[in-house]
Structure 1
């Protein structure tokens, strides 16, 4: 597959969403969790979405429970937590796996396009971020320790 636009994903409310709906936008795709040390990054992700949204930028949040069981809730609980705790308005998707045999095809693609440390593919923890350009191609992969604020220069380069 050539771009992220070749994929679909279930939204947090359970409906299928073709990623072609985001065609022409700069995207930050993030595997998220509600009970993680990095969870406060929701605030920064929302700030990026609000700052650059009018310029064709979006954050896509994919809850994942594969790292320390830090996303135990169901879709309704996750949506409520994100809204209540961080006023998240960017698109959230249904809970997925990002590693292993059941990894969502989108994340299989992202990991193949942008390797991690020392060329490894597996995602190491929650809040790994993939920056995608307007053509649907992966422009970069960033560790959980890279804060949303740290990504502003990278976003501005391709927006």
Structure 2
């Protein structure tokens, strides 16, 4: 009788937990990947991240008047090193931190090119924090709430399948070992 009771209780517990666990699994499967998002292109058009499926993507919120603006040049070095192997680098200008992006549109990319030699892609100026943030940034914040942008030049590395591999603070050197290793691993995985 005790064995039968355990079996019945086990089946009841499984029947009750099954829909809950299935619902959680379905919610994870339905959660969009980074490849579900697009950014407006500075000067017109869009950057659909799905166009970069199978390639790692580094997304960096930038500002031309920020103390970290020297990273435009370091990001260019990273871009030159890895773009031929498949890395996509997208600068996402934002005025969210200290009002340090006074320019708009293609003028932002032009300023970064003239001052720092930046030749990688630039999105249109975008909100990256709070309830009005671009959907990608809201998604990333939900995925990794401990790695949200706290200042300009925060970096998100997106894997080849669209998963968020990690967030790197403004202080993280684009050519630092942690980010370079993560990019290298993702490029080798392809």
Structure-1-length-normalised TM-score:
0.92
Instruction: Give, in angstroms, the shift of residue 14 of structure 1.
Output: 2.3
- Give yes or no for the alignment of 1:93 onto 2:123: yes
3-state SS of paired residue (1:109): helix
Gaps of 5+ in 2: 1-30
Is the Cα contact below 8 Å between 1:116 and 1:123 reproduced in 2? no
3-state SS of paired residue (2:81): helix
Instruction: Give, in angstroms, the shift of residue 152 of structure 1.
Output: 1.0
- Give yes or no for the alignment of 1:133 onto 2:159: yes
**For the residues of structure 1 that align with 2:87 and 2:106, how far apart are their CA atoms?**
25
Instruction: Within 5 Å, give how 1:94-109 maps onto structure 2.
Output: 94-109=124-139
Instruction: Give, in angstroms, the shift of residue 24 of structure 1.
Output: 1.1
Higher-helix-fraction structure: 2
Instruction: Within 5 Å, give how 1:8-157 maps onto structure 2.
Output: 8-116=38-146, 122-150=148-176, 151-157=179-185
C-alpha RMSD of matched pairs (Å):
1.3
Greater relative contact order (Cα 8 A, min sep 6): structure 1 or 2? 1
Task: Count how many residue pairs are aligned between Structure 1 and Structure 2.
Answer: 155
**For the residues of structure 2 that align with 1:96 and 1:82, how far apart are their CA atoms?**
16
Is the Cα contact below 8 Å between 2:56 and 2:159 reproduced in 1? yes
**For the residues of structure 2 that align with 1:25 and 1:100, how far apart are their CA atoms?**
28
Instruction: Give, in angstroms, the shift of residue 114 of structure 1.
Output: 2.1
Is the Cα contact below 8 Å between 1:29 and 1:60 reproduced in 2? yes
Instruction: Give, in angstroms, the shift of residue 17 of structure 1.
Output: 2.7
